[in-house]
Structure 1
Amino acid sequence: MTSALFEAPGPRARRRHFWYAVLVASVTGGAVCWMLLRFADAGQFDARMWEAFGYRGVQLRILTGVVDTFKAFVLAVVLSLLLGLLFAAGRLSAHRFLRWPAGALVEFFRAVPVIITVFALYATDVLRTCVTAVADLLRKGLGAPGEWLAENFASPTLWALVIGIALYNGAAQAEILRAGVGAVPKGQFEAGYALGMRKTQVMTVVALPQAVRTMLPSVISQMVVTLKDTSLGFFIMYEELLYAGKLLAQNTATPSGYPYLPVLCVVGSLYIITCLLLSYVARRIAAGHMLTMTGMVRNRRARSRDSFPGEVEGK
């Protein structure tokens, strides 16, 4: 089948592309071999490099990094979804005084690099003052539970990372939500208005349930981006997984040197596993949503047959 976008390459072009591929593969393979040889000369493949991971202190350090990563991830996901709903509602509003500021905020936070936002929040005294005040209120108002919450969540570094990530990903989620609502056929909106619904009711009862199926894969993909963005805490010394790996690599001495490559392998594998698990959960949720939608359609058809048996049989 001939593509309409470009002309199919002829024999000479195919040979040329083949040799281009051979050249790129040779250069890439040579670079990888050179890196492996350099690592081998530095002793990074020595078995003694992996002995440190058998110590309980190292294992606890990695576990703490994983817990702190998930802590920042969960908070950032919840906050980004809330901001995404708020920004999307503003962008879909019929009022200009809501639509224009929401659009400006979305474009601004999408354009500014996340690391700049995180650094700006980290250097802001207002954030530190607010977090400290909330921690004092938790300790005084809730007693022991408040002490636990203040100790584990009242950290300016944590909230600088969470808010910075949530602002960017919230803007991205807003565009995903807006696109999903825009994909709903206009006839669905007109049917809701014909029934006497207001715009808010049409959006929440008619549009959003249909748009969820379209938006869900993109929303989950953006959550994976949020998970990977938590590694930016490395730059503000938040003790997430990447920062914990850096501390281990720099402070764990072996007879063959510092275990940079083993730590990189362990930390990278944990990131890959968590992203794969999140993608798996996303596929399960999407499959469950499809089954729910199919069941709803079947129930509606069954109710229609029970209510109008003659008409259904005639059709």
Structure 2
Amino acid sequence: MSSVLFDSPGPRGRRLVMFGNVASGVVVAGVVVFVLVVLAQQGQLDPALWVAALDGRAWQFYYLPGLQNTLRAAAFATVGAVAFGVLFGVGRLSLNPLVRVLSGVVVEFFRAVPVLLMMFFLWVFFSRQLTWVPDRPYAAVVVALVLYNGSVIAELVRSGVRNLPRGQSEAALAVGLTGAQSLRSVLLPQALVAMLPAVISQLVVVLKDSALGTLIAYPELLRATQILASGEQNPLQALTVAALVFIVLNWLLSVLAHRLSLTLSSRTSGKTVEGVGIGNPVAAPVVPEPH
């Protein structure tokens, strides 16, 4: 018998729910029809606009170069965010109170600052102070994504280590490891494996936030799509294609995270058997007597 959060509706309740569903469907269908009629009146459903948004020229000169820049920024930002997150996540678990407090301040600060604000600040800073940086919009996008998402990953590391069974650290201390050695050799590897699906899910955030680079003239997918739309006068069609590309990429990452979560759970869970322990010797296998 499945558990529910509330009592199952009776005949009258089921009729009301069905009426509500039908009414909602009619309203949604009416809104969709109204939007399509307005777009048709404005000429936005002209097949020529869709052809211009989907032809080989659009993919060769706009979508694919923009997608390449998006993936390039997301890839470098992901590597940097993981390194940043592991470093400051371990820092927040340090036995040294000064390191722990400083790591906490850094993580909480960059988690609180909006990514777009960091991109603007870094872009202006690189343009005025670090003029030797060759690709300042790209550097601003990557560094901002590293700082924000690295802070999120640092919290994942900290919570992953804290959520491990207490017996892990006690066993490490029992065999003579120090607190730092226990964290580095026993707790952290297990936490990294457990948080791997969450890290991959965070890639979705990195990929989507890279589109904010369009506001500082970084030629990622959204920026390239806007340039195409301004030339062909088909913003609806071009942005629809870009949205579908983002949806497919994020869906693939979500599927990868789900598959990885299932794989890791199947490898780390299972029936436990009696093993060697204090007062718990391994029982000798029962060998059948020969007939």
| TM norm structure 1 | 0.77
Query: Does residue 173 of structure 2 align to residue 193 of structure 1?
Result: yes
Runs of 4+ in 1 over 6 A off after TM superposition: none
Matches within 5 A, 1:71-110: 71-110=72-111
Note closer, same or farther for the CA distance 1:264–1:99 as it changes in structure 2 (3 Å cut): same
Note closer, same or farther for the CA distance 1:212–1:65 as it changes in structure 2 (3 Å cut): same
Count of residue correspondences: 280
Residue matched to 1:259: 234
Mapped partners of 1:263, 1:97: distance in 2? 52
Mapped partners of 1:164, 1:272: distance in 2? 23
Mapped partners of 2:108, 2:5: distance in 1? 31
- Which structure's residues are more often helix, by fraction? 1
Does the CA contact (< 8 Å) of 1:213 and 1:290 recur in 2?
no
Q: Render the CA deviation track for 1:33-81: whole Å, top value 9, x for unaligned.
A: 2222222222222221133242536522211101100111011101111
Q: Render the CA deviation track for 1:125-145: whole Å, top value 9, x for unaligned.
A: 4x6643x43x5xxxxxxxxxx
Mapped partners of 1:181, 1:313: distance in 2? 36
Mapped partners of 1:287, 1:17: distance in 2? 35
Mapped partners of 1:239, 1:72: distance in 2? 11
Residue matched to 2:27: 27
Query: Does residue 215 of structure 2 align to residue 235 of structure 1?
Result: yes
Residue matched to 1:202: 182
Cα RMSD, aligned residues only: 3.1
Q: Which runs of 5+ in 2 are unaligned?
A: 277-281
1:197 is paired with a residue of what secondary structure?
Answer: coil
Residue matched to 1:150: none
Note closer, same or farther for the CA distance 1:67–1:194 as it changes in structure 2 (3 Å cut): same
Matches within 5 A, 1:1-315: 14-52=14-52, 53-56=54-57, 59-125=60-126, 129-130=129-130, 132-133=131-132, 154-252=134-232, 258-283=233-258, 285-286=260-261, 289=264, 311-313=283-285
2:285 is paired with a residue of what secondary structure?
Answer: helix
Residue matched to 1:149: none
- CA drift of 1:26 comes to 3.2
The AA in structure 2 aligned to 1:103 is G
Residue matched to 2:279: none
Note closer, same or farther for the CA distance 1:312–1:207 as it changes in structure 2 (3 Å cut): farther
Mapped partners of 2:212, 2:228: distance in 1? 18
Does the CA contact (< 8 Å) of 1:110 and 1:171 recur in 2?
yes
The AA in structure 2 aligned to 1:230 is S
Does the CA contact (< 8 Å) of 1:128 and 1:156 recur in 2?
no
Residue matched to 1:147: none
Mapped partners of 1:264, 1:45: distance in 2? 14
Note closer, same or farther for the CA distance 1:268–1:42 as it changes in structure 2 (3 Å cut): same
Q: Render the CA deviation track for 1:181-212: whole Å, top value 9, x for unaligned.
A: 11111111011011111223212321123223
Between the aligned residues of both structures, percent identity stands at 38
Mapped partners of 1:216, 1:48: distance in 2? 45
The AA in structure 2 aligned to 1:63 is L
Mapped partners of 1:229, 1:19: distance in 2? 40
Deviates more, 1:55-64 or 1:162-171: 55-64
Mapped partners of 1:17, 1:123: distance in 2? 55
Q: Which runs of 5+ in 1 are unaligned?
A: 136-153, 253-257, 305-309
2:176 is paired with a residue of what secondary structure?
Answer: coil
- CA drift of 1:284 comes to 5.2
The AA in structure 2 aligned to 1:84 is G
Mapped partners of 2:181, 2:267: distance in 1? 22
Mapped partners of 1:105, 1:7: distance in 2? 48
